[in-house]
Amino acid sequence: MKTLLATTCLLMWLPELAQARKWTSTSGHSVDAEYVKQVHGRVILKSPEGKQYSILLSRLSAGDRAYVNSLSATHGNNSTSLPPTPTETSFEEGKVIIYGQARKLADLASGAITESSGLACGRVNKNVFWTHNDSGDKPRLFAFGPHGEELAVVSVTGAQSRDWEDMASFSQNGKHFLLVADVGDNNAKRETCALYVVPEPVLDTSKKSKVISVAPSQTIRFSYEDGPHNCESASIDPQTSIIYLVSKENGNSCKVYSLPMPKRESKKTVVAKPIATLDIPTTTAMDISANGLRAIVLTYGHAFEYRRGPKETWDHGFARPPRRILMPRRVQGESISYGTDGKTIYLTSECKNKDSSNPSPLLEVPVMK
C-alpha cells in the first residue's frame, strides 16, 4: 500500500516538472524549457527540441529561483543526480563552446618524459606539443607530435629547474615564445620563484629527434606580495602581456596572482599581487586562450573555465562563477593547454614509473561542431 501511494504521489507531480515554461536569467536572456533537476547549485533544463541547458541557480530571475526552491521544498532536492554532461550549455551565455567525449590520441614515445607537468601547443611549428618534467630533471623541454612521436629535446641554457610546474605558449609582436614556470614550492618557503621566457625554436619535424640549446630571452624573478605559496598553474594573457598564477592550496579555495611581464631583463625581483580568490580545490595547471578571453584552471579532477569580456580585466573574469568542464580520468593530471584553435583542450598525465613501461598519454577534449 505504501509503494502504491508513493507511486501515485510521484505521478501527480511529474507532469508539473515536465511542463515547459519560460525561464529568464538575471541578464535578461530567456528560453522555453522544462525543469529536469538541480545539480550542485546548477539548474538543468531541457527545451522542447531536446537541447539541454545548465545555469547557476543564482543567475536565474527571482521568480524562477522561487519556483525551483518550491519544487525542492515540495518534492525534495534531487541534487544527487548525475553531474552535468560536457554537452550542457547555458542559454544566457550566447555562443558557448560545446565539448565532446575525451579521447586518447597517443602515448608519448620518449622514455625521458617521466612526469609531464606542463603542456603547451607550439605556435612556430604546426602540430607540435611541448612539455617538461616535474622537479628532479634537468632544465629541458621536450617536443613531440600528435602521435606521441619524439621530435626534439631542448636544453634551456642558463636556467635552473628547481621545480618546474607549468608552461604556456604565446605570441608577442610577431614572435613566438614558451613561458616556463619554476614555481613549485610544496613547503611554501621559497622567497623567490622564476619564470623563463624562451623563444620557441623552429623544428624540422621530418628529421629524427635531436638535442638543441636555447637561451631564455628573459628571466623573471618574482615573489608574492603576501608571502610564499605553492603553485602549479601559470599562464600569460597574450593580449595584455600579464602573467597569471594560481596558488595550490590544501582546502577548497585558491588565490590568483597577476604579474605584468617586465619590458626588459632585470635582476630586480618583481611582485605578484593577488587579484581574486577561486572556490575550487587543489589546482594543478592552467592556460589562457590566444584571444585572452578564456582561462581554464585544472584540478586533479575536472577543469573550471573563466571568461572575461573584451573590455574587462581578469579581475572581473575571475570574480564570476566558472563553468565546469568534465575531464577524462588520468593517473595524475597536472597539465592542460588550449589548442592553436583556442578551443580544443589537450592534457597529459604524470607517469610515476621511471621508465617507458607506463608512458604518459596525450589526451584531447574535442570541440563538437
> Does this model's pTM top 0.85?
no
Query: Kind of pairing, strands 218-224 and 270-278?
Result: parallel
Task: Collect the ranges in the chain with pLDDT lower than 70.
Answer: 1-19, 27, 40, 72-95, 351-357, 369
- Distance between CA atoms of residues 87 and 324, nearest Å: 11
Name the CATH superfamily housing domain 19-96: SLA1 homology domain 1 (2.30.30.700)
User: Taking the domains of the chain in order of start, what are their residue ranges?
Assistant: 19-96, 103-365
Comparing CA positions, the residue from 183, 160, 179 lying closest to residue 171 is 179
Q: What strands lie across the sheet with 52-56, from one edge to the other?
A: 21-24, 30-39, 42-46, 52-56
pLDDT recorded at residue 11:
32
Domain topology for 103-365: Neuraminidase (2.120.10)
For residue 96, give every residue at least 6 positions away whose Cβ sits within 8 Å of its Cβ, in sequence order, or none.
89, 90, 323
pLDDT recorded at residue 102:
93
* Common-topology check for domains 19-96 and 103-365: no
pLDDT digits (tens, 9 = 90+) for 26-70: 767 788 888 888 876 778 888 888 788 888 887 888 888 888 888
